[in-house]
Chains A and B, each alone.
Chain A
């Protein structure tokens, strides 16, 4: 997994609450393998009409936001389905960070497994960042995981909190399974103790 330390790129605002994972990747693409096509599924049905032409009003189709690699959203971004495809397609389309006032819980978890940094900021902060991006289309934002800060256009600077375990994993691009296997002795010991104590047997009928 690609480590995340500090990232500066053009950012796009997405003003709606509750952008669910069905919007990020429509269900019909979930059966597809993770290949070079995966990036084309990103926000597919918001981006393109039924006839395959671009939806002019969709923000990522506007010239200033086409190259955005950071999203500043509102409340509950990535709610809904657990599909990790939503994170795969964002990453494959070049996004490295999403800033929102809250996230769907599973999407948030999935992000850390793919080098995508979800940043939670207060509603006033994300709202100010979105307003600044509307005022200065194409403006850049810097997300710094080491200092846990976000800096945007118009001298907007915010600090964010993040779970230290997840921060460490992202900073170093660490793989979760490899890390967990360093606890294998404890897992073995737990399993033995648990099997002896538990009232429920796992034997098949």
Chain B
């Protein structure tokens, strides 16, 4: 009898299942494991057991959270403790023979940027990291998810994890993507539609013509925010776009290995007729540039819209929650979103710091001047070099923008010292607008890179299409 049609997720899961225990949990083999500075808890747990990393050749250490963006001298670090935390990761990598992309290494950058850029992330892999945005790597057809410190320690020690099998969900984006709509707008529209817990307990497969038409960098942006919809992971089937992206990258297979890998990758996409636990469909033609108004990524609206009115919400708890959000954000119901003035702009993070993001921002910045303080932090040292080769840095500097020389997570979560002030309003290409995320009291509006630059040059949230028309 022929095997029942399987989803891409099913295939990857089953291929990595070592055993299933009496309680129905699967022991899953992990192909790639990335560690950043906060893995210190996990290394401490590992060493407290007198164990070392089981498969160092599959483990990569890359400092990105606490690294300075202004330079690498002592005084560039926020505090000595920041410097020490980075040094601690390097020591742990050294002690365990783990591959390290250290501070001076041009390949260093945000883990979720570096993995795909180096070809470390490949289709059909299981990938984990002690960071929720590990979902990013699913853009290449990997099953990738974030874990906590204890599980990081477990993977370091055993190269495995016990996991209950998640459900599957397919999100199909039909039709055509309108001009001026970015990958960030697509994922914000999806999260706005299904909610911040909409993907809870599920692995999402993004599909349909709009998704297939995305570049890999755009797919990385979409999968990055799967966690913002509550999903365990997000995946996109590998295709010719994927193979062309991977070919020639340092850690990618080459020669005969490439042929074998390609044949394997081509077996990965979901079989025709494979069933998903849940199906959601959006019409791509309806998506417009998006912006968030509240303190959850699900608070996303078209830039052409208005700040919502709590009076229109019937449920008492939900009304109170909306009132709290508006108070925190310093907004009043009924305001036009495009009338909201911003005081700062951040372009960067694992969501939007790749070369295409920087090009999109540069296209808007060209010949204009930033009206509010704007910083741009490239996703990796190689992206910085590429941007400078293309002259993007000149465009930014001429527009009065602070082009940072060192890659890192920076103002997305503000733990390296790059923060947004209390009650300061920031248009940000990052992934979370939570209370206090970018700094205590910070007011974050999530947008795509062109929209962020549009806000920079006008000083308010702006429909980028009004700057590019004609």
Contact = CB atoms under 8 A, between A and B. Distances in A.
B434 interface: yes
B317 A74 contact: yes
A204 interface: yes
A20 B24 contact: no
A196 interface: no
Interface stretch (B383-391, B435-443, B447-455, B459-467): B435-443
Residue in A79, A187, A202 with the greatest tally of chain B CB atoms within 10 Å: A79
A34 interface: yes
A50 B422 contact: yes
Given A16-B324, A34-B41, A165-B24, A109 B197 contact: no
Interface in B110-159: 122, 124-125, 130-132, 134, 145-151, 153-154, 157-159
Interface string B199-212: 01100000000000
Interface stretch (A24-32, A62-70, A140-148): A24-32
B160 interface: yes
A18 B198 CA distance: 12
A172 interface: no
B317 A50 contact: no
Contact of B415 (A27, A186, A202): A27
Contacts of A45: 435-436, 440
B130 A26 contact: no
B25 interface: yes
Nearest to B54: A187
Contacts of A20: 296, 432, 434
A201 B18 CA distance: 19
A165 to B, nearest CB: 3
B148 A109 contact: yes
A23 to B, nearest CB: 6
Given A27-B414, A31-B85, A163-B25, A199 B440 contact: no
Contacts of A166: 23
15 contacts: A17-B317, A17-B321, A30-B38, A31-B82, A76-B196, A79-B197, A81-B413, A82-B130, A106-B227, A113-B151, A165-B24, A190-B29, A194-B29, A199-B261, A202-B58
Interface of B: 18-19, 21-25, 27, 29, 31, 37-38, 41, 49, 51, 55, 57-58, 66, 81-82, 85, 99, 122, 124-125, 130-132, 134, 145-151, 153-154, 157-160, 162, 164, 196-197, 200-201, 227, 230-232, 250-251, 253, 257, 260-261, 263-264, 296, 298, 317-318, 320-321, 324, 413-415, 422, 432, 434-437, 440-441
Interface of A: 15-18, 20, 22-23, 26-28, 30-31, 34, 45, 50, 74-76, 79-85, 87, 102-107, 109-110, 113-114, 163-168, 176-177, 180-181, 183, 186-187, 190-191, 194, 199-205
Given A109-B148, A183-B18, 18 more contacts: A16-B320, A74-B317, A80-B434, A82-B148, A109-B151, A110-B148, A164-B22, A165-B24, A165-B162, A166-B23, A177-B51, A183-B19, A186-B27, A199-B263, A199-B264, A202-B31, A202-B55, A204-B99
